[in-house]
Amino acid sequence: MASIALKTFTGLRQSSPGNNSITLSKSLPLTQTHRRLRINASKSSPRVNGRNLRVAVVGGGPAGGAAAETLAKGGIETFLIERKMDNCKPCGGAIPLCMVGEFDLPLDIIDRKVTKMKMISPSNVAVDIGQTLKPHEYIGMVRREVLDAYLRDRAAEAGASVLNGLFLKMDMPKAPNAPYVLHYTAYDSKTNGAGEKRTLEVDAVIGADGANSRVAKSINAGEYEYAIAFQERIRISDDKMKYYENLAEMYVGDDVSPDFYGWVFPKCDHVAVGTGTVTHKADIKKFQLATRLRADSKITGGKIIRVEAHPIPEHPRPRRLQDRVALVGDAAGYVTKCSGEGIYFAAKSGRMCAEAIVEGSEMGKRMVDESDLRKYLEKWDKTYWPTYKVLDILQKVFYRSNPAREAFVEMCADEYVQKMTFDSYLYKKVAPGNPIEDLKLAVNTVGSLVRANALRREMDKLSV
């Protein structure tokens, strides 16, 4: 897969050569890494007099929390605006191993360490995945309300001002280097729950406010295709929960989704059961029912304790940056095809964007401009563009019909495929392959697809 020639991808572009990024040591706390920043602020970039650079982060999910912490530690006067402090986004909650170390996440916020997965085909053929994992490797399962709150609290400890408020709109600068004026409704002890209209003046804005981003609308960032994710949290008996102790299930088939998959992911005391679709949003509840039916023997008798639904972007927005405003996470459209993963990419993009601002402002001492923030986009596209493209191709090839999904599940039984998949997922790199094994994989893939097409033709005959 790593040798595929990748030419184009909607919303992403290949960056120009050159090293425009800052280097953060993985082995040192963030507070010790800023001495490694390579300061490239423009000579004409004016100094900020009497204060440090002010930046607002709109949205308090993984993208916003990571951005706010990095800004605050980098000398920026930081404001994080979030409306729902207990937000429970309908999200599978899977995070890769590299995120635990990279973002220094405590193990007590991880509900389950998944070391086994079952990929279940339309005909209910189950393939066990995970044989290639090393003893220390796992997929972390978290609840979003726990993870998000932890990252926001850490940002506050670093010096960010966390505001419980609903962002409404922003007024653009009236002159070069003039402030952005953010309008929001504040909810705190002073407003007695009714909310109070307030404004905030800042030098730059990071939009981390999700798929329905108002920051994106403020800069005319354009629309993108999105999926609807629907999830139910189901509390099951202890003996049934034992089955899911370190196991996650993924179901594929037209019944659970015409273009995505259904899942059963374990949490602390319940399982998250969900599905998603781009093409048939009106039928999402029908697909959710089918997912529950496919898993029925393992979750029967369970009690639904929460129902959640949310849009998930399918590709990056046409515009992710304008002047001193940048989009990160779901607001930018950073969710992968095929897997629907977005937590790591949200946190990573938030941190990358904040690093670019810290670097460009000389740790808050100078004003930034679009060229400073564009370094974040160039670094992002160069690092993650291949991953997005490969997963886009896989979705188009294997999610188009039930026979193709049968071929996909059959292919997942291959140990080499599992190793490549887990290495790429856990460490967020397109894993380099072995040429001989790659050739075998190509032959096996073609064979699976041929069998899938033969099966489809037979099914077509039966339906005539």
Question: What pLDDT is attached to residue 191?
Answer: 64
Out of 187-191, 292-296, 358-362, least confident range: 187-191
Phi and psi at 327, nearest 5°, equal -105, 145
- Model confidence pLDDT, tens digit, residues 103-124: 999 999 999 999 999 999 999 9
- Model confidence pLDDT, tens digit, residues 372-400: 999 999 999 999 887 777 777 877 777 88
| Mean pLDDT across the chain | 84
Question: What does the domain layout of the chain look like in residue ranges?
Answer: 46-89+144-224+318-399, 400-463
Mean pLDDT of 309-317: 89
Phi and psi at 384, nearest 5°, equal -115, -10
At residue 221 the predicted structure's pLDDT band, cuts being 50, 70 and 90, is very high
Instruction: Say if CB 149 and CB 169 are below 8 A apart.
Output: no
Element (H, E) at 310: strand 303-313
At residue 415 the predicted structure's pLDDT band, cuts being 50, 70 and 90, is confident
At residue 58 the predicted structure's pLDDT band, cuts being 50, 70 and 90, is very high
Could you tell me which residues are beta bridge partners of residue 235?
Answer: 303
Assess whether pLDDT exceeds 90 at residue 96.
Answer: yes
CA distance 127 to 411: 9
Instruction: Classify domain 46-89+144-224+318-399 by CATH number.
Output: 3.50.50.60
Could you tell me which residues are beta bridge partners of residue 226?
Answer: 313
Give percent helix, percent strand, percent coil of the chain, each to the nearest 5. Answer: 40, 25, 40
Mean pLDDT of 209-236: 94
